[in-house]
Structure 1
Amino acid sequence: MSYFPKADGVIAKGLIIALPLLLLSGCEKTVEAPPAVKPSVKVLEVTMKEITPSEEFVGRTEATQDIELKSKVRGNLLKTYFEEGSIVEQGQLLFEIDPEQYQAALKSAKALVAQSRAAYDTAVRNFKRAEGLIKDKYISQADYDNLLSAKLQNAAALQSANAELDNAKLELGYTKIHAPFSGRIGLSNVFSGDLIIPEQTEMVNLVQMEPIWVNFQLPEKVITNAQLAARSADSQYKIEDLPVKLRFPDGAIFEETGMIDFIDNRVDATTGTLAVRAEFANKAHIIVPGLYVTAIIEAPRVQEVMLIPQRAVQEDQQGRYVLTVNNESIVKRKNVVLGKRYGVDWELEEGLEKGELVITEGLQKARIGAEVEYEMDTVQPFSENDS
């Protein structure tokens, strides 16, 4: 006789329910978890690359000649002979000022010369006669001296009249204003009928387009390094011998190469820089004055450096680093020290050895210490900058 009849019923019911479950669980096989998928990345091998070291400086273009044309004579503007914004040639007629008063002055000057010439010729003839008479004492010494004085006075008067004539010719010539050099002309500040005041009225601006200058500043450190490099080079060279390239604000490289034509004689104490100027032929007039550009000075010798793509470089509180893949396909972190930028690449100074594999794509999937599958990246460092 059971002392717990109700409990026995409950236990029996539980055994009935649990028995099929136990039988089923005994029949099931153990299911193994699928293997983890290895992240896929792309890598580049660290190699040496020949480059030409260069320094870049912000510069500004300047016209070799930039003037405001003014008149030397007074008068009303008669006509304009150029198209605003066009290229004009040296000697080309630009403006004409009403020449009427200067033509009249020229006629008056010519008449004065003729009058002075006649008076001088008369004085010369009288003096020559006096020279013959004075010997025979037909005239007094006082008369002779008066005739000599008249000759000299008329000679001076003739010279003065000729000077007036020359000045009248000049002033008449100044009524036509020609381009003093070839260049691009700006907007006209005067119009037909305007009164032109000599040396005051600014008529139009003219700039010379070829050649053209680029002004920039060299830091004193760059100057010192360049001088040391020049002395240690196999063939001696000067900074003035280094070619200069230009890059426009949109990144395009100017097709011409310029040469340094001026270096200042002292370093600016406030900025620690030296003023330098390069000259470009600018045959196609692509460079215009006042443009901000980047001046690029290349070293005369090629060097071998290690380059890595910028996209492979990451940065955190410890500094810049890259992720590499070793022989066991394990991801490793390598801290790096970088030098100059060359296009889309960094110069590698410390942190990697030649032949190491640097991850360039799939960085977000790579984990330090984890195994990955990799393939070689087809894009090689510096390929966008090779010439």
Structure 2
Amino acid sequence: MMSSRSKFVLSLAFSGAFTILLVGCRHHAAATPAPQAMPVKVESVSNSPVSSSDTYVSTIKGRRSATLQPQVEGNLTRILVKSGDIVRAGQVLMQIDPLKQAAAVQSQQGTQAQKKALYDYNRIELDRQKKLYEAGVVSRDAFDQATQAYENSKADYEANSALTETQKQQLGYFQIRAPFSGVVGDVPVHIGDYVSSSTVLTTVDENVDLEAYIYVPTERAAQVRTGLPVEILDSDGNSLIKTKINFLSPQVYNGLQSILAKAPIPAGTKGLRTEQLVKARVTWNTNPAPVVPVLAVTRIGGQPFVFVAAPKDGKYTAHQVPVKLGEPVGNTYPVIEGLKPNDKVIVSGLQFLQDGVPVQPMG
């Protein structure tokens, strides 16, 4: 059985040990410094003009574009151009075998010469019969017969002359000429091919007076109107030119359930050709909205986030906030959800940040 003195000594020993342990813990706690705030650059969220827009696939077309098809039938004997050639108005592009038609023209010209000779003879004869009739040498009946022969030969000659001219014009159709100056498109035919009025020989396009054909879905029928801004973009999203809608079709295209809108391409624009596919960004309206720099946005699993310097007890900590963004405008994203004006968005050192770490905002 432990005496009172032993209990007292043991109590003092426990008290001393506890005191030493407490002092050691305090010393250890004092030796571990609090984490320092990381200096970061921040930008306050502010409202800026943000455009509401949609991007559609558009086709560039020229106001002067011709598909060449023959007006006569026959075999191609000459092809004088190739794809990409620049041609002038009236230049001969192809030749269809004209031998049959040339023979028909020559035969018709021979017939015309015969009728011309008869016409000239009857005209002279009429003049002679008229003088004899006036002198009382021949009867009225003889004069009337001469008049009738002259009128018949005249009508016959004039009809034949018109037929000859038609045959000559028909001969001209055996040469395929450029309707205007431009660039030759694809040439799908070959020398020796038999062609008819349904055969496509080639195209000629003039790369001026270009237009962007934009097919706007009918859901936007209430918003689309002439005068809306349009930005033409290349395949990489780079802006080529800015224009405006100047035409709306009065009808809906059933196959696409869309409305055709046209926007003119300014003269002298480079890098655009007829039938080229581009992107057309149609801006519906512009309203103030919060924006954040592109550099402030990180993505995790496709979800965009930003870090906000959140104040707490006079200090700041990094707080990761999920956001919903609109289409980028220049170097900024419009914020649809997640932020409010004057939030301090962190734009530097994002790779070193974690949710809840202390930060020191810098302007």
Structures share a fold, TM > 0.5? yes
1:224 aligned onto 2:222: yes
In the alignment, what sits opposite 1:324? 308
Identity of aligned residues (%): 24
What displacement does 1:196 show? Answer: 4.0
What displacement does 1:177 show? Answer: 1.9
What displacement does 1:137 show? Answer: 6.2
Is residue 217–residue 275 contact of structure 1 (8 Å, CA) maintained in 2?
A: yes
- Number of residue pairs aligned between Structure 1 and Structure 2: 341
In the alignment, what sits opposite 1:279? 264
Matches within 5 A, 1:351-362: 352-362=339-349
Is residue 210–residue 285 contact of structure 1 (8 Å, CA) maintained in 2?
A: no
Cα offsets for 1:338-387 (capped at 9, x unmatched): 555424532235654443211234556545555323445xxxxxxxxxxx
In the alignment, what sits opposite 2:237? 251
Structure 2 CA distance for aligned equivalents of residues 85 and 342 of structure 1: 38
What displacement does 1:334 show? Answer: 5.8
What displacement does 1:101 show? Answer: 4.5
In the alignment, what sits opposite 1:372? 359
Consecutive aligned runs of 4 or more in structure 1 exceeding 6 Å deviation? 269-272
Structure 2 CA distance for aligned equivalents of residues 126 and 265 of structure 1: 67
What displacement does 1:253 show? Answer: 1.9
Structure 2 CA distance for aligned equivalents of residues 315 and 281 of structure 1: 39
Query: Is the partner of 1:307 in helix, strand or coil?
Result: strand
In the alignment, what sits opposite 1:307? 291
Q: CA RMSD in A?
A: 4.2
In the alignment, what sits opposite 2:335? 348
What displacement does 1:325 show? Answer: 1.4
Query: Is the partner of 1:149 in helix, strand or coil?
Result: helix
Moved more, 265-274 or 154-163: 265-274
In the alignment, what sits opposite 2:207? 209
Matches within 5 A, 1:43-82: 43-50=42-49, 54-82=53-81
TM-score, normalised relative to structure 1: 0.70
TM-score, normalised relative to structure 2: 0.74
Query: Is the partner of 1:329 in helix, strand or coil?
Result: strand
Is residue 64–residue 209 contact of structure 2 (8 Å, CA) maintained in 1?
A: no
1:266 aligned onto 2:239: no
Query: Is the partner of 1:215 in helix, strand or coil?
Result: strand
In the alignment, what sits opposite 1:122? 121
Residue 201 to residue 57, structure 1, CA distance change in 2 (3 Å): closer
Query: Is the partner of 1:342 in helix, strand or coil?
Result: coil
What displacement does 1:38 show? Answer: 3.6
Query: Is the partner of 1:250 in helix, strand or coil?
Result: coil
In the alignment, what sits opposite 1:18? none
In structure 2, stretches of 5+ residues that fail to align are: 1-16
Residue 146 to residue 60, structure 1, CA distance change in 2 (3 Å): same
Is residue 50–residue 334 contact of structure 2 (8 Å, CA) maintained in 1?
A: no
What displacement does 1:264 show? Answer: 1.0
Query: Is the partner of 1:184 in helix, strand or coil?
Result: strand
In the alignment, what sits opposite 1:157? 156
Amino acid at match of 1:115: Q
What displacement does 1:241 show? Answer: 3.4
More strand by share: 2
Residue 195 to residue 323, structure 1, CA distance change in 2 (3 Å): closer
